[in-house]
Amino acid sequence: MERKGAKLLIRVAICDDEPAFVARVEGMARRFFDGQDLQAEIICFTSPLAFAGSELAGFQLVLLDVSMEEMDGIQAAKLLRERNQDAILIFLSAYVDYAIMGYAVRAFSYLLKDELSGTFDTTMGEALRELRHQESAVTLTIQNQPVTVKLAKLAYLESRGHLVCAHLTTGAELEFYGKLQDWEASLGPEGFLRIQKGILVNMDLCRKISNYQAYMVNGERLPCSRQNYNQLVGKLLAWKGR
């Protein structure tokens, strides 16, 4: 068993139809990444149409104004989500009223422009932790060959006698020799929860635990331990609220 934390080269998009504000955010972003000793490719857009026509699938982090004349930020974000489900999206706006709209496009955070100097670095730090979590991976040995799997794509592990089966978000199943208790020790800090003797689930891909079942985002329902049920519910809620 081997866990990997990928070295990040972060591709960032900044989109706002006010050039001076774009330049300000770019400067703040560059200072932040320099302070983290990270490389970042930052691409700036002053036209939401140009942003929408770019290679959206390649961005890991997007800072997007909500209110723009050519196309509002919610429309641009919907186009982003059509091509890129994983990018961390941070909305920028002068008005707090728009914040609720971010839920429809899975916005990570919402920053008010006039409070940017006090909130930018904290929010970027939270986004960076999420990026690192997304890029974390494990290497499985399958038929004597190493196979690297990102934790974000690993829905759950299932014990099958002397084998462990990795269930991926794609629906694929990968079997390899191992013990579930070893994986629990390794992946517990990464948000994996042992819901019963033979199943270890990725809490990021579990919607809820209810009626003694874990409801996964792909529609699967997995049986939970009745003995430890309340503790399992509490751990999932704590992870979701971290």
Domain that holds residue 186: 143-240
In the listed set 88, 106, 135, which residue is the last one of a domain according to the structure?
135
Six token digits for residue 219: 């529609």
Cα separations in angstroms, 156 against 198, 205, 210 = 10, 9, 17
In the listed set 103, 119, 135, which residue is the last one of a domain according to the structure?
135
pLDDT for res 152: 87
Q: Give, in degrees to the nearest 5, the angle at Cα 60 between 58 and 64.
A: 100
Judgement on whether residues 122 and 158 belong to the same structural domain of the protein: no
In the listed set 135, 163, 193, which residue is the last one of a domain according to the structure?
135
Helix (H) or strand (E) holding 237: helix 229-240
Judgement on whether residues 14 and 123 belong to the same structural domain of the protein: yes
Judgement on whether residues 233 and 178 belong to the same structural domain of the protein: yes
Judgement on whether residues 170 and 88 belong to the same structural domain of the protein: no
Instruction: Provide the CATH number for the domain around residue 163.
Output: 2.40.50.1020
**222 close to 157: Cβ distance less than 8 angstroms:** no
Instruction: Provide the CATH number for the domain around residue 40.
Output: 3.40.50.2300
pLDDT for res 101: 65
pTM of the model: 0.68
pLDDT for res 168: 95
Judgement on whether residues 90 and 163 belong to the same structural domain of the protein: no
> What total of structural domains would you count in the chain?
2
pLDDT for res 25: 97
Judgement on whether residues 183 and 227 belong to the same structural domain of the protein: yes
Judgement on whether residues 110 and 201 belong to the same structural domain of the protein: no
Exposure of 215 in the CB half-sphere (CA atoms within 13 A): 6
* pLDDT values of the chain reduced to their tens digit, one per residue, 242 residues: 555 544 568 999 999 999 999 999 999 999 999 999 999 999 999 999 999 999 999 999 999 999 898 898 999 999 999 999 889 999 998 877 655 666 678 889 999 999 999 999 999 999 998 888 777 889 999 988 999 998 989 999 999 999 999 999 999 999 999 999 999 999 998 899 999 999 999 999 999 999 999 999 989 999 999 999 999 999 999 998 76
Judgement on whether residues 109 and 20 belong to the same structural domain of the protein: yes
Q: Residue 78: what are its φ and ψ, rounded to 5°?
A: -65, -40
